Amino acid sequence: MQQGFSKQNTFERLSFAEGDNILYESFVLNGSEYDMLGAEQFPRIVDAAGLCICLEGEVEIVIGAQGYHMKKGDMGVILPNDILYIRRKSPDFRGYTLACTPDFLINSEIPIPSRTPLYLFIKDNPCISLKEKELEDLIKMCEFLKEHDSRKDHPCREEITRNLGYAIIYEVIGIYKKKEPLHQQPYSRKQTLYFEFIQLITKHYREQKDIEFYAEQLCITSRYLSVVCKEISGFTAKECIDLHTMINARILLTTTDMTILQISDELNFANPSFFTQFFKKRTGVTPKRYRNINRTA
């Protein structure tokens, strides 16, 4: 199999789902089934690039610990290794989602390398409002892609589907390029503190779970740190720390054969009992039960 392109089907999932307040069409470029908006129950770190276009209703989404309220005509972009958490979807929510692996982007030679101004602008502004024409064009492209992918007997179906996927990505890049400011506004003091806090969590979450440690590193009080976090992300400082710990606990439970004791030690809990209490309080199930559910699903 060629790297970055599945011979079986470039879009392995192309379906319409309804139920549990979910109503959307989901496309997946080159990869196993990936339901981007199925992240409502638990936050997770995504290993793909994703796109969501809200057609009706509304959805509250967290990308990288920053909260966003999407409504009709809004578009959200998720980049690889982002934290994704769907807080809430309205009963009438309807939209398109599309996800593709990093290899798909690399093989396409689409010019969005990390740390470029465009990449950073998308990273800082993952959710934007579309103009009426932009929304219409993207909807037409998604419908066109769906129509061509359903032509099972077409000898060039894979090539057409793949290149239509590239066209949608380029369309999104073009939309962002038109919105990208010539001179990016500097972050506020609170935004800078928040981003520095998230970087510290990424580095120290295993051994440090107390707010006081992070506040001391930032030379501010614990109370002020929580105020800043709540204002910028919608989460308290403690919730941000716990969120990162939870995401990594879930990854270890579902992608490794480590025992509960080993995971507890890896995440620096005093003992497996404390880890189990922490996990169950936030998910409603024990780590063992969570592993069993997700490995048999």
Residue 69's SS3 state is: strand
Write out the two tokens for 174: 């073009």
Nearest residue to 196 via CA among 227, 229, 224 = 229
If you compute the radius of gyration of the chain from its CA atoms, what whole number of angstroms results? 20
| Domain at 194, CATH number | 1.10.10.60
Nearest residue to 270 via CA among 213, 209, 202 = 209
In the prediction, which pLDDT does 88 show?
Answer: 82
Q: Which has the minimum average pLDDT: 57-61, 116-120, 224-228, 271-275?
A: 116-120
Residue 169 and residue 246 in one domain: no
Per residue in 276-285, is it b (16+ CB within 10 Å) or e — as a string? Answer: bebbeebbee
Q: Are 250 and 236 in contact (CB under 8 A)?
A: no
* Strand 74-78, strand 83-89: pairing: unpaired
Which range of residues forms the domain containing residue 103?
Answer: 11-179
| Domain at 148, CATH number | 2.60.120
Residue 135 pLDDT class (50, 70, 90 cuts): very high
The pLDDT of residue 115 is above 80: no
Last residue of a domain, one of 179, 204, 228: 179
Q: Per the domain annotation, does 6 fall within a domain?
A: no
User: Across-strand partners of 50?
Assistant: 78, 99
In the prediction, which pLDDT does 296 show?
Answer: 54
